[in-house]
Amino acid sequence: MEHVEKPAVKLIAIALLLGGVGYALALLGFKPLHATMIGVLVFLVTLWTNEGLPVGVVSLLPIILFPALGLLETGATTTNYSNPIIYLFLGGFLLAIATEKTGLHKVIAKKILTVFPTTPRGVIFSLAITSGLLSSILSNTTTALLLIPIATFLSSHKILQVRFILAIAYGASIGGIITPVGTPPNMLLLGFMENHGMEMIPFVKWMMLVTPVAFVMVIFASFFLSYGLHNVGHIQEIEEEHKITHAQKRLLWMLISLIVLLFVNSPIKPYYDGLGLDERIILLSYGLIMFLPKIGVLKWEDSKKIPFDIMFLFGAGFAIAAAFSKTGLAGEIANKLMLVADFSPWLILLIVAALVTFTTEITSNTALISIMLPIIFSLSQAVGADTQLLMMAATICASYAFMLPIATPPNAIAMSTGMVSVAFMAKIGFVLNVVGILLIVFAAEFYWKFFL
């Protein structure tokens, strides 16, 4: 038993050490309270990164640490763990569990796989697009886990397997931005906006803003991954799909009705005000409908699959953002970043996009965006920049990090197959990072700014 516990003890010790170093270094330029916040943050991010403790346990530590260290009162900390946005994601999780239980994701995947030619480039396109589409309704983690076995089945050639695995991983990250429930940073942005009295971005409007970005990005990533693979390896034949089951049909109609309702509910200013329904209630309602006899497909035992650790992670992200604002650390860091105040708006946008993209390569994108949102909010207020635009760009960039396994869950899942090397992922990912930054800045400057 000792040989299992030792590494965890070492990882926790490393987190404590780095937290202490972070505190000591922060004292050189910040007040003691701010230095304490920075030290705690380094400690939490290190534990999230090195997995010295389970994600859910680390995510609950702010409830103890923030009040104990005078950063945020207990009530003000715990309220973040019941943020209404979390219940929107709960509804999404229940729909994802239903999709997995019925096997509907396999039907969708195989249908799309048959649309493209059975060449290396055709398969890469089909895998990336399938992964992207599924990731918009399932979590990007779930999507990657479900599809990667398909990638390894389609070819026994190592080069093709690596490219297919990366197509799924990158497609999941790219497609995760399409809907607010696709990836955790999206949810953190909406929660932050609500907490600061900003107008929420409706579901359909969100999709309208980011779908073109995801489309261009998945096309580029597919072309880039398939470069030089004309005559490499052999593609396995795809089995004929069996007839769709009654449970799959019911779920498919439920998902279609959900999409229709979300579209009808979304306002189109100034022509249409929408239905005025709360999207969080809509998603949670559809999730709970999955338990209704004759309509849904779930039993209460299926609820054990809900990733509560991820929900606690959301709460921790909201708590960190609240502590940054309450202690004044966000404003202090923003003041130190005022050297960009005289830069043009597009250059500030480019700096923020690049900073978030490359920083999230070495830490959790969820943790990073929870730290960055209050800083970007304060910075934009100070320099007179478009707050929503900067925060939206930063949030999307947090999901568009393709170089290292730790950057996003799909990257880590791809690496866990043992077929993808860090060096190869970094080489391919660097190009995609740069393209992603430029694409997001271009979209923000010439498209988003007219709708946000």
Alpha carbons 201 and 209: distance in angstroms, whole number: 10
Question: Residue 165 CA to chain centroid, in angstroms?
Answer: 19
The residue type found at 95 is L
Whole-number Å distance between alpha carbons of 432 and 437: 9
Buried b or exposed e, range 200-227, using 16+ CB within 10 angstroms: bbbbbbbbbbbeebbebbbebbbebbbe
Q: What is the pLDDT of residue 2?
A: 42
Task: Check if the beta carbon of residue 34 is closer than 8 Å to that of residue 14.
Answer: no
Three-class HEC string of the chain: CHHHHHHHHHHHHHHHHHHHHHHHHHCCCCCHHHHHHHHHHHHHHHHHHHCCCCHHHHHHHHHHHHHHCCCCCHHHHHHHHHCHHHHHHHHHHHHHHHHHHHCHHHHHHHHHHCCCCCCHHHHHHHHHHHHHHHHCCCCHHHHHHHHHHHHHHHCCCHHHHHHHHHHHHHHHHHHCCCCCCCCHHHHHHHHHHHHCCCCCCCHHHHHHHHHHHHHHHHHHHHHHHCCCCCCCCCCCCCCCCCCCCHHHHHHHHHHHHHHHHHHHHCCECCCECCCCCCHHHHHHHHHHHCCCCCCCCCCHHHHHHCCHHHHHHHHHHHHHHHHHHHHCHHHHHHHHCHHHCCCCHHHHHHHHHHHHHHHHHHCCHHHHHHHHHHHHHHHHHHHCCCHHHHHHHHHHHHHCCCCCCCCCHHHHHHHHCCCCCHHHHHHHHHHHHHHHHHHHHHHHHHCHHHCC
**Integer angstrom CA distances of residue 340 from 254, 280, 325, 326, 344:** 49, 37, 21, 24, 9
Residue 276 falls in which region: left (phi positive, over 0), alpha (psi -120 to 50) or beta: left
CA distances from 386 to 154, 305, 446 (A): 46, 40, 13
Instruction: Tell which residue, 405, 107, 131, has the closest CA to residue 123.
Output: 131
Q: Which amino acid would we find at residue 350?
A: L
pLDDT digit of tens for each residue in the chain (452 aa)? 344 455 788 999 999 999 999 999 999 988 999 999 999 988 988 887 777 888 889 889 999 999 999 999 999 999 988 887 778 778 877 887 888 788 887 777 677 677 877 788 888 998 999 889 888 877 777 778 777 777 777 777 888 889 999 999 999 999 989 988 778 888 889 888 888 888 888 888 899 999 999 999 999 999 999 888 766 655 555 555 567 888 888 988 988 888 788 777 766 655 667 787 887 788 889 999 999 988 888 999 988 888 788 788 778 888 887 888 888 887 787 777 777 767 888 898 999 999 899 888 766 677 778 888 888 888 888 777 788 999 999 999 998 889 877 677 788 778 777 788 878 888 999 999 999 999 999 999 999 988 87
Residue 317 confidence (pLDDT): 80
289 within 8 A of 295, measured Cβ to Cβ: yes
d(CA 371, CA 318): 9
The one-letter amino acid at 248: Q
Domain boundaries, the chain: 1-53, 54-450
Separation between Cα atoms, residue 28 and residue 35, nearest integer Å: 9
**Tell me, what's the pLDDT at 264?**
79
Q: What is the pLDDT of residue 446?
A: 92
How confident is the model at residue 1, as a pLDDT? 39
Q: What pTM does this model have?
A: 0.70
For residue 240, what pLDDT is reported?
Answer: 52
Q: Residue 421, exposed/middle/buried by CB under 10 A (0-12, 13-18, 19+)?
A: exposed
pLDDT value of position 270:
55
Q: Let me know: does 40 contact 21? Beta carbons within 8 Å.
A: no
